[in-house]
Structure formats: C-alpha cells, structure tokens
Amino acid sequence: MKYYIIAGEASGDLHGSNLIKQLRAVDSLASIRCWGGDLMQQAGGELVKHYRELAFMGFTEVIKNLGTIFRNLRFAKKDVLQFHPDVLILIDYPGFNLRMAKWAKENGLKVVYYISPQVWAWKENRVNSIRKFVDKMLVILPFENEFYNKWDYKVEYIGHPLVEVVDEALNHQPANPLEISPINQHNVIALLPGSREQEVSKKLPVMLAASTAFPDYHFIVAKAPSLPDQFYDQFLQSFPQVRSIRNRTYQLLMQAKAALVTSGTATLETALFGVPQVVCYKGSPVSYQIAKRLVKIKYISLVNLIMDKEVVKELIQDELTPKNAVKELKEILENPERKLQIQQDYAALKRLLNKGGNASANAAKSIYAFLQN
C-alpha cells in the first residue's frame, strides 16, 4: 500500500515515526511519503517537507505567515496527487490538516486522522468537517470517545503513543544518562521551554530567571531539535551556570528532580517519567486574549485535562513570573506531601493511558484493516 502522512510539529514527528515503523510491520511493502521531521525520515518515510517550515503558533503568528501556509497547502495537494496514495493519514495539526482532509475527500482519497484535533477545547464546530471529510478517526485521549459520541460520530480509542515511547526509554535507562558529576547528579532541574521560536522566547527567560534562586541545583535546558544553538545563546549567555542539551530530553527527564515545562505534549512526557513539574504558558498578548475568549477548558496541560483535576500547577500568561515559578518549584522540591500526591496522581494517569494498549501498533493495524475493506 501507499501511505501519505502529514505531521506539522515535533510531537507529530515522534508519533508519526512510530506509526511508520508499525505500518512497515503489518505491510512489508509499504511505500510511505511524509511531511514531518528527522524521526519520520529515520523510520523509513520519504520526507517531503520538514515541520520547521510549518510550525506557526498563536493567532497573530498564523496571520503573519498566511502566505507561506497557503503555498504549503498548494504544494501538498499537488504532491499528494502525484504520489496517488491508498490513504492520506493526518496527524493532529488541524488548521492545515482539516483543509487537506476536505480536499482529499473531494478528490476521492481515503482519509484517516491519527490524533484528533483538540476540538473539545475550542472550535467544536470543526466536528462537522471531521464527520464529513474523515473516514476514520483514531483518538489517543480517554475522554475523546465520549466527546465524539455526543456528536454521533464513531471514533476508535487506541491508547496513548507516549506510554510505549517512555516505557522503551526507561527500559534502557543508563545509571547516569547525562554524565553529570556526582555532586550534582541528584539535584537536576529540567527546563523544557518548547519547540517553536515564539514560545521559547516567551518562556525561557522566565525559567532562567527562576534558576538563580536555586544555587544548589543544576539547571539544564532541553533544546528543540528544530532550533539552532545561536537562537538559544541570546538567552543563555547571562546564565553561565545553566547547561543545555540537544536530542537528549528523555535522558534529562530520567535524571531530573523537578521540571519547568511548557504546556503541550511535554507535560505528559514529564508525568510519565514521574518528574514533578510546573506547567508554563505565555503567548503574545493578542493571541492570549483571543484564546481566553474562545478556549473552553478548565486546564491547559494534558496531565490535568486527562485526570480532570489540578495534578500539576499551571502558571498562565501574567502568572508566569520568576517569583511565581520559584514559589511553585520550591513547593514540589520541598513539600513531601505535595510530592507524594503528584506521584500517586501520575500512577493513576499512567493506568488510564495504558488501557488502550500499544497505540502505534493499534493504529497501524486499524489503518491496514480499514484499507482491506
């Protein structure tokens, strides 16, 4: 079979790469062309466009880059037609991918969506488009089944793909993954400021400022694979005591005692590694004000959303200050009751996500079976 996969950001690249491996396991003759990143390419996909060229976040940023987005859409349509796949597989990235779903359906292509857009958070009316243009929706969050039932749209819960990714990393855990000196080995704080320029620029300065209140701890920034070292230098040069790493985020989380984490997939990864965290969010003022009026969820972190309670503290927009970050970091480092409660909630979260089984394998089998019909 011929598979065309579109992922538009770092998390999509990760999940797309595992999907490619599992598709090859069920279909040894699979021919796979994709938009994504290095991981999807390493897994055997023929990479057409890197997510570096696609990742725009926030309302104002999207508007500024509309020309690029529409050029990418035109290119995608032309490339899909030339490849003539048996199925178009879309991974999250809804602004772009829902347009592709509509176009693909109108052109007689089969459409599978892997990892639902967060329509339960905002733009719920997008479900109408999904019902019309998506032949099969594979969801990875336990509550999404119930959400789509409300709309009389049948979806398939396959488990969360991060569970198997993190388990695999933990099964091959070295004793001192970052080769940190023994004096600092158990006092590591991870800083995960995100994968896009806009979000890193807003959050990393606050995280770095907070680090100065903890002279006995070893702060390490996880750099995004898609952003160059020079970009980080402007923030790090005033903080010589702070280290940075690249392509070793999981090793960092294996060794971290606590973390400051940007909202998104990283909050779930941090929880699955069992690391107490403070979730950080700060957008441009215009984007935030628009989002505040449109988004209708109680929490911004996946950990809290899945558990439907505040498991981890969220510092949002004006609350994200060095002073507040220091206060919340001290709480998860020094309060034993708080630490115990977080670990108990993390264990419950993992049990919930484990119920679906191996998500990537389930997705591949489901897509392959769908194509046999």
Q: Global pTM?
A: 0.84
Q: What is the pLDDT of residue 75?
A: 93
Residue 93 to residue 118: CA distance in whole angstroms:
10
Average pLDDT, the chain: 90
Closest CA to 219 of 246, 184, 190, 194: 190
Which is more confident, 323 or 184?
323
φ/ψ of 273, rounded to 5, equals -85, -5
Is residue 101 within 8 A of residue 131, CB to CB? The reply is: no
Encoded tokens for 320: 């994200």
Q: What is the pLDDT of residue 295?
A: 62
- DSSP structure class, residue 110: -
Within a 10 A sphere around the Cβ of 82, how many other Cβ atoms?
Answer: 8
Is residue 100 within 8 A of residue 90, CB to CB? The reply is: yes
Confidence check: pLDDT of 206 > 90:
yes
Q: Is the dihedral of CA 27, 32, 37, 38 positive or negative?
A: positive
**pLDDT, tens only, 112-146:** 999 999 888 777 889 999 999 999 999 999 899 99
Residue 371 to residue 243: CA distance in whole angstroms:
48
pLDDT-above-90 percentage for the chain: 74
**pLDDT, tens only, 235-294:** 999 999 999 999 899 999 999 999 999 988 899 999 999 999 999 998 766 666 666 655
**pLDDT, tens only, 7-60:** 998 889 999 999 999 999 999 999 999 999 999 999 999 999 998 876 555 555
Within a 10 A sphere around the Cβ of 174, how many other Cβ atoms?
Answer: 10
